[in-house]
Chains A and B, each alone.
Chain A
C-alpha cells in the first residue's frame, strides 16, 4: 500500500511540472487583459485573432511548414540508404559511421548553428532558405537513420532473401519488398522529423534573417517587444497542432514502437 501511494504522489509531481505550464499557457491565452497573467481575468478570443493579423507570424508559419516538410524529406532521402547500409552490410568502420551520424544529436544546437553560419559565410553569398534547409536536414538526419534502422531491423532478413531467391535483384527487392514493409517506420521518422524541425530554435536562430524567419524565431522576437497573451494563444494552437499530428500518427501507425 505504501509503495503504491508514493507511486501516485511522484506521478502527480511529474505530471504537475510537465503539464502545469501548458495548462497555465492554455488558460492565459483566453485572458482579456493585455499582459500575460494567471489566473486570467475575463474571457477573450482577441489574441487568437491577433495572431492572424500579424504578417510576420503568417509568413514565418509558411516558412516553418516548408522548411519542416522539405528538410524532413531530404533527411530521409539521405537517411534511408544510410540506414540500409548500416543494417545490411558488415563493413569496417560501421561503428564510426554510426557515431559520426549521431553527432548532430550530441553536439548542442547552438554550436551547430554557429558552425553552420560560419561555414556558409565562407562561401560569401548564400541563400538564407538554403542555409536553413541544410542546417535542419543535418539535425534531422540522425533521427531518420535511427528510426528507419529500427524498422529495417524488425524485418526478418529471410523475407529479403526469399525475394532474391525468387529472382529479384537488390533494387527490386528493396522497392517491392523492403520499402512496403518499413512504411510505418518511414512515416514515424517523417512525423518526428517534422516536429523537431518545426520546433527548432538553436539552429534556426543563427540561420535566419529579417526576411526569412521560422515561427519559433518570430515568436522569440515578438516577445522581446510585447508581453501580451498573443504568444500564449499561438502556443496553444501549436500544442494542439502537435498533439493532433502525434495522435493521428499513433492511431494510424503505432508511432510509439519506434521511439
Chain B
C-alpha cells in the first residue's frame, strides 16, 4: 500500500509545486494520476521514487516510511517514459541489473529473468541489445526489468506515450493484465484520459498541484465534480444558470427563459446558487417541437462524421455541439429545439 500524507514539494524555495497533497493506493490497486502537463502528476511520482526532495509530509510504502530513504533503497519498480534501458547491456543484463544489485545468486538471477521475459513475451530475445529492439519490445524489457525485483510498488511514468496508436492500445491491455496477475500496487501517470479510464481501478484527476477529483473510471467519466474535470473528460457543452428549487431526486435550474430539470448534482447547492450545467454532445437531441427540458435553437452547421452527424447550434445560452446517430432524421440549417435528458445534465457550483 502506498500512502502519501500532507506532501509538499518545492522546486523553488517558497513556491510549492505540491502542497497538502494526500493520496492512497491500496494493495493490488492500479491508480492513475491524470492531468495536463505541469499539473504535478510526474512530480508526485518522482517524489515517491525518491528523485525529488520533499519539503514536508510523509510517503509510506507497505507501512515503511520512505520519506528520508534514498531512491536506491526504496524497493520500487519504475518504468520511464523513455524506457531508459541500459544501451550497453543485453536484454538479459538489463533485466538482471536489479537482481545483481540485490546480490541474488547467478542461478536465481537466470531463473527469475527468464520468468520475467516469459511474462512479457520476450523469450529468445535475451541476448539482443536495446538498439536492436522495436519500441514495443523495449517497453516490455522496461516492464520486465521493473517487475523482476518483485517490488512493493510499481510506478509507470507515461509508459505508452512513445508508441504508435495501435500498439498503445495493445500494450495498455498487457500492462493491465500483468499488473493484475502480479497483483502489484501500481501508480500510473498519464495525460491521456482514455488510457486512464481503460487501465485503472481508480482515476485521480490533478490540476495545478491539487487533486480535482478521485473516483472509479465510470464516476470520473459520468459524474465530473468540477468544471476542470468536466472539460478534461470531454464535456463539450456548458451554460450558466441559477438554482430554482431542490427536490429529493432532482434540481430545477433556470437559464435564460427556460427551467431545466437535472438529476446529476455535485456539491451542496441551495436555491439561488449560481451553477454551471454541463452536458456531452452525444447526450443531447435535436427535435422539431418543444418538449419538457428543451430550448429553442438555430442549427448553424451540419457535418458528417461517419457513424454520427455533428451539429453546431446557436441558442440564447451560447453555442453548443450536438452529435446524433447517423441513421436519425437530419436537420437542416434553421430553427429547431434542443432536448436535454435530466439524467445527462451535470450541475455543479459556479
Contacts and interface: CB of A to CB of B under 8 A. Distances in A.
Interface of A: 156, 158-159, 161-169, 172, 177, 180-181
Contact of A158 (B71, B77, B84, B149): B84
A1 B17 CA distance: 58
B72 A181 contact: no
Contact of B72 (A156, A158, A168, A180): A168
B13 interface: no
Contact of B84 (A161, A167, A168, A169): A161
Contacts of B51: 161, 164
B97 A166 contact: yes
Contact of A156 (B78, B82, B97, B102): B82
A162 B87 contact: no
Contacts of A164: 51, 71-72
Interface string B60-82: 00000000001111101110111
Contacts of A172: 101
Closest 3 CB pairs of A and B: A167-B101, A166-B98, A158-B84
Contacts of B331: none
A166 B84 contact: no
Contact of B88 (A156, A161, A162, A181): A181
Contacts of B323: none
A200 B91 CA distance: 46
Nearest to A160: B84
A163 B149 CA distance: 13
Given A168-B72, A168-B101, A169-B72, A163 B86 contact: yes
Q: Which of B74, B78, B84, B87 has the most CB atoms of chain A within a 10 A radius of its CB?
A: B84
B296 to A, nearest CB: 56
B191 interface: no
B82 A166 contact: no
Given A158-B82, A161-B51, A162-B78, A167 B88 contact: no
Interface of B: 49, 51, 70-74, 76-78, 80-82, 84-88, 97-98, 101-102, 145, 149
A158 B102 contact: no
Nearest to A180: B88
Given A166-B101, A167-B98, A161 B145 contact: no
Contacts of A180: 88
Given A165-B78, A169-B70, 19 more contacts: A156-B82, A159-B85, A161-B49, A161-B84, A162-B78, A162-B85, A162-B86, A162-B145, A163-B86, A164-B71, A165-B71, A166-B72, A166-B101, A167-B72, A167-B98, A167-B101, A167-B102, A167-B149, A172-B101
A164 B51 CA distance: 9
Contact of B80 (A162, A177, A181): A162
A189 to B, nearest CB: 18
Contacts of B84: 156, 158-159, 161-162
Contacts of A163: 86, 97
22 contacts: A159-B85, A159-B87, A161-B51, A161-B80, A161-B84, A162-B80, A162-B86, A166-B97, A166-B98, A166-B101, A166-B149, A167-B73, A167-B98, A168-B72, A168-B97, A168-B101, A169-B70, A169-B72, A172-B101, A180-B88, A181-B86, A181-B88
Contacts of B78: 161-162, 165
A57 B78 CA distance: 60
B86 A177 contact: yes
A86 B78 CA distance: 27
Contacts of B82: 156, 158
Contacts of A177: 86
Contacts of B97: 163, 166, 168
A254 to B, nearest CB: 14
Nearest to B157: A158
A226 B51 CA distance: 66
**Which of B70, B86, B98, B145 has the most chain A CB atoms closer than 10 A to its own CB?**
B86
Contacts of B77: 165
Most buried by B among A156, A164, A167, A169: A167
B86 A165 contact: no
A93 to B, nearest CB: 18
Contacts of B74: 165
Nearest to A159: B84
Contacts of A158: 80-82, 84
A165 B72 contact: yes
A142 B88 CA distance: 27
A156 B82 CA distance: 8
A161 B72 CA distance: 9
Contacts of A169: 70, 72
A166 B88 contact: no
Nearest to B96: A166
B44 to A, nearest CB: 16
B76 A165 contact: yes
A163 B96 CA distance: 11
Contacts of A161: 49, 51, 71, 78, 80, 84
A177 B89 CA distance: 9
A162 B78 CA distance: 7
B71 A159 contact: no
A130 B49 CA distance: 48
